[in-house]
Structure formats: structure tokens, C-alpha cells
Amino acid sequence: MHTPPTLPRRPARNLPSALAAVAAAVLIAVSPQTALAAPAPDNDPDTPVQFVPTPADTPAERAEADREALEQKLAATAIPPGPLTFGAQPLAAARSAAESAAAGASCAISQEQATALALAPVWPEVSAGSSLAPSPMTLSRYDNQSGLYDPAGRDGLFFNPGVGLWQMDSAGLGAGNTAGEAIDSVWVSDFVVPYIVNKYCTALNGGSAAPAARATAWADWNACSDGDCDTMYWRAMNTGIGSDPGVGRYGGAEPRTCEFRGSSYDCLFVDVARAQGADWWTRPGSGRSPVPHPFYVLRTASGGGTQEVRVWLAEDSGHGVDVTVTRPFGGNARDALSWTDGQGLCDTTAGRGSC
């Protein structure tokens, strides 16, 4: 569900033959991921950042990739001292959800406690040491399993699996929502806040002491494993949470209406250059994942199932063709994506795309 230090890359090893062939083809193509990358902030400005996919074709490779991602994430969970801040609209959404959750809770908990409890994971998850308000648009920067990359190796076509304030990840709590819903601070607050409060109350009612019950409530967020979330909880309770009017409901993403495959959908246009709040993650050198080109995201239903769809228009990616990637709800993006060239959408709000 993350500017971290650069960790030593593990030694090269023999890849399965199919993946090795793909890697060779990408290298022959002059590694397009490298071509677009900007310099890392602390490195020589003439040295590009190289985004190298981590193989994740076997259980052992998946476990190693997950371990590396967690190691980098935990290295960036500490938050500077001083007042905590949150976007004005996201904070209002969280407080509203907390009020409802507290009123219906099975244990004694106030709106203030429920708000602090629910927001405590956000700063360690997405701020990476920044004192700015967390951005609802935040895209994960520590995942780089090979299944998340465009199979053709084109730069900026990357499916970030963790999204939003609570980093809703398709491997966990985000399996049944889209990136658009994870970014929408109203939708995601209404989902996550009661979830956290309910877990807390269940643990408390089961005999856990309050600190242990809080730890149980935060167990879905790896950034809480070293106690940083409890620190954030008490900072929020003792000194309050400031409101930043410059960070809106969608953190800079823009709600649109899109026509896709002959039907009209609510969609969200996500351009990292417009991110509001802490934007450390928008810099190519800030993590081991590529920064994606601007994309659209929507929810579709077909064949008895629901899908998350992300679309890169040719005019946004510069690749000369629209590209669509689909993830079935319940599927982990790391091994469940389907990529299609030549299938775009029409942004009927802005009058752009395949209209």
C-alpha cells in the first residue's frame, strides 16, 4: 500500500529464458525507460536514472521483489517534527467518515480519535519525510516487478499498483477499486476510515489493550510496522492536524467524462505534473518505479466482471498510439494486466482523444 536512499542493487542472476529475451530486446532498443528518466536529485545531473524491472516470475523472485520494496519504503517513513498538515478537502472527508464510523462503532471512540487513528498511516505511507500535506494523487514508487511494465518496453507506460493517501494496492485493500477511487479522498475515506475503526474495536473488544488494538487496525500498512503510525496518532491527538486549502479532493487529478468502447463513463485524468501537496514521488529519481505519463482511469463492467482500465492517449505519451491496460477486480496488478495497443478513449469533457 513511499526521497528514499538508494540501496545496493542485488547481484545479477540468470533469468528465465523468456524474460531474458525480453530484456535483451529492450536493451537493443536503447532502454526506453532510461531515455526519458531525469537525473536523481543527489546525483550528477548528467547521469540518468535507470529503471530496471525486477523479475517476479517465480515465488522466490516475487518474495525478493516484495522484500526490496518494503526495505526502501521503511527507510522513508519518519516524518519531520512540527505541525501535521492535511489537505483541506481530504481532511474534511476523513473527519466526516470518522464521525459516522465513531457513531456506529462497537467500542467507545470519539470522532477525534477515529480521525487520528485512520489518518495515522497516511504520513508514513506517502510523505517520505516531507512536511507538506500528503497528496491524494500519490502513486507508489517502490514497486518495479516486471509485470507492471508495458510489455513493449515503452517509457512512461507503467502501472503503479499502490495509489492514493492510503496507498490502496491491488495486492490487498485495493483489489476491488480503481486508481480513480483511491485518489478520490471522499470515496477512499468512506472505505478506509470505518475499516480501520472496525478493526480497532474488534481487537479492543477481544481483550487487546489500546496500543495493541491500534497496531491491529494498522496491520495492512507496512509503514506502520516500526511504530511510526503510533507516533503519528499521538501527534495528531496532542497537537491537532492543520488544514492546507491548496490540496483538493483529488490532489490535482481531474474528474472527466469519457467515452470508451461506445459507452460513457466517469473517469479521472491523472497527470503527476499537476500533483498537489507532497510531490517528492513525481521526480524520476525519487524511487525505483518509473513515473507514468498522464493517463485516464475508469471502472468498466463486462462479462460478469468488473475491471480497472487505465488509458494513455498517444498525445500524452508521445508513443504514436493509444495504449490501454486492464486489470480485473480481485487481480494483483503484478501478474494480472492485459495491454492493448490502438484502443483509446474520448475525453468528452475536454474534447480530446479518439472522439
Q: What is the DSSP string of 62-117?
A: HHHHHHHHHHHHHTT----SS-EEEEHHHHHHHHHHHHHHHHT-SS---HHHHHHH
Q: Decide which of 201, 230, 251 is a domain's last residue.
A: 251
pTM of the predicted structure, to 2 decimals: 0.83
Instruction: Verify that 168 and 315 share a domain, yes or no.
Output: no
pLDDT of residue 284: 86
Q: What are the φ/ψ torsions at residue 105 (nearest 5 degrees)? A: -70, 155
Instruction: Verify that 23 and 118 share a domain, yes or no.
Output: yes
Instruction: Verify that 236 and 316 share a domain, yes or no.
Output: no
Q: Which residues pair with 305 in a beta bridge?
A: 302
Instruction: Verify that 236 and 296 share a domain, yes or no.
Output: no
The stretches in the chain having pLDDT less than 70 are 1-50, 55-57, 69-70, 72-78
Instruction: Verify that 189 and 267 share a domain, yes or no.
Output: no
Instruction: Verify that 337 and 242 share a domain, yes or no.
Output: no
Number of domains in the chain: 2
pLDDT of residue 2: 35
Instruction: Verify that 69 and 173 share a domain, yes or no.
Output: yes
Per-residue model confidence as pLDDT tens digits over 118-127:
999 999 999 8
- Runs of H (alpha helix) within 206-282: 210-217, 228-239
pLDDT of residue 251: 98
Instruction: Verify that 107 and 230 share a domain, yes or no.
Output: yes
CA separation for the pair 181, 177 (Å, rounded)? 6
Q: Which residues are CB-neighbours of 16 under 8 A, at least 6 positions away?
A: 55, 57, 58
Q: Decide which of 196, 229, 251 is a domain's last residue.
A: 251
| Full domain range(s) for residue 93 | 1-251
Number of neighbours of residue 342 by Cβ within 10 angstroms: 10
CA separation for the pair 132, 352 (Å, rounded)? 33
Instruction: Verify that 128 and 223 share a domain, yes or no.
Output: yes
Instruction: Verify that 117 and 23 share a domain, yes or no.
Output: yes
Instruction: Verify that 77 and 210 share a domain, yes or no.
Output: yes
Instruction: Verify that 220 and 191 share a domain, yes or no.
Output: yes
Q: Decide which of 232, 251, 270 is a domain's last residue.
A: 251
